[in-house]
Structure 1
C-alpha cells in the first residue's frame, strides 16, 4: 500500500510538471512580408532622411541659417524616426526575407549595381558580416537617439554622419561594390608667395 501511495504521489508531482513543459509555447517563427529593398525604401530611407534633415545649415542671401528641432513635438518626431531606423536594422536580419519580390532591384540600371541574386549570395557567404553591418547602423542610430533625448543638435549631426557611414559601408559591400567612384580633380597648386 505504501509503495502504491508513493508512486501515486510521485506521478501526481511529475505529470503536471511534464504537462507544463509540453504546454510552453514554441518560439514564434518570423514570416517576413516585405523584401529588404522594401524595408530600405519604406522604413530605412525615410527615417534616415528625417534624422539627417533635422539638424542642418543653409546658406541664404541673408547669411547662414541653422535649423534644429525647437519644440518637444519636433524632437519627438525625430525620435520616432530614430526608433524606426534602429529597429529596421533588426528587420534586415530576419531569416528568409527576400532581397526583392520581383528579383529586380529598383536601381538595376545603374552601372555596378549587383543583381538581387548576387546580393543574396554575398549575404549568405558571411551572414555574421551582414549582421555586423546592420548592428553598426543600429549603434549609430542609438547615438542619434541619445542626442535627441539630450536635445543636442551638434551631437545629432555627428550621429547622422555615423549613420551615413554605416549605410554607405553596407551598400558598398552588398549593393553596389562595383560602381565607379567619382574621381575628383587634383587640387590646384598655388605658387608660394615670395
Structure 2
C-alpha cells in the first residue's frame, strides 16, 4: 500500500494543476496595486542617489535587516509574476481601470482581449518581470548594491514594456525638444 500512495503522490506532483484548481480572488489590477507596485517601489528606493544642497547622497541597504527587507520585496515581486498568470483572474472587479480617465488607457475589455488573443505574449511579459526580480534577489543575496540597481532598471523596463502593450499603448508620449546642433549657440 505505501508504494501505491507514493506513486499517486509522485503523479500528483508532476501533473500541472488544472484551471479549475485555481480560485483567484484579486484582479490583475489589485495584484498590481497591492503586490507588484509596492514591491517594485521598495526595490527602487533601496538603492539610489540623490542630489541635495549638501551634495550627492547615496542610499543602499547596509545592515542584515535592511538587506532582508529588500529581499522580501524581490521575492514578492518574483512570485507576483506567477499570480498574474493564474487562469480565471479578472483584469478588474469593476467596469473600468482606476485611471480610465487618462487619455490612451485601455478599457478592461480591451486589456482582457489583448491577453486572450496572445496569452503566450502576456506570459512572456510576466516572465520578464520575474527574471528581473530574480536578478534583484541574487543581487541582494550577494549584497551587491550596483547589481541591485541594474536589476531595478530591468524591472522598470519589464514593467514599461508590459504597460505599453496592456495598459496604455495609446497614450501620448512626451515630446522632447530636438537636441542642439554642435555648432548652435545657446
Same fold (TM over 0.5): yes
1:1-194 to 2 correspondence within 5 Å?
27=17, 29-191=21-183
Moved over 3 A (4+): 24-28
Tell me the matched-pair count. 176
Point out the more displaced range, 32-41 or 58-67: 58-67
Q: CA deviation at 1:187?
A: 1.2
**TM-score, scaled relative to structure 2:** 0.89
Mark the runs of 5 or more structure 1 residues left unpaired by the alignment: 1-12
CA distance in 1, matches of 2:182, 2:116: 51
What does residue 6 of structure 1 align with? none
Return the TM-score normalized by structure 1.
0.85
State the Cα RMSD in Å: 2.2
Alpha-carbon distance between aligned partners in 1 of 2:51 and 2:163, rounded to the nearest angstrom: 30
**Structure 2 portions without partners, runs of 5+:** none
CA distance in 2, matches of 1:150, 1:130: 31
Specify the structure having the higher radius of gyration (Cα).
1
| Distance in 1 separating the partners of 2:184 and 2:22 | 65
Tell me, in whole angstroms, the C-alpha distance in 1 between the residues paired with 2:24 and 2:123. 17
Following superposition, the deviation at residue 190 of structure 1 comes to 4.4
Q: Distance in 2 between matches of 1:161 and 1:36?
A: 23
User: How far off is 1:188 after superposition?
Assistant: 2.0
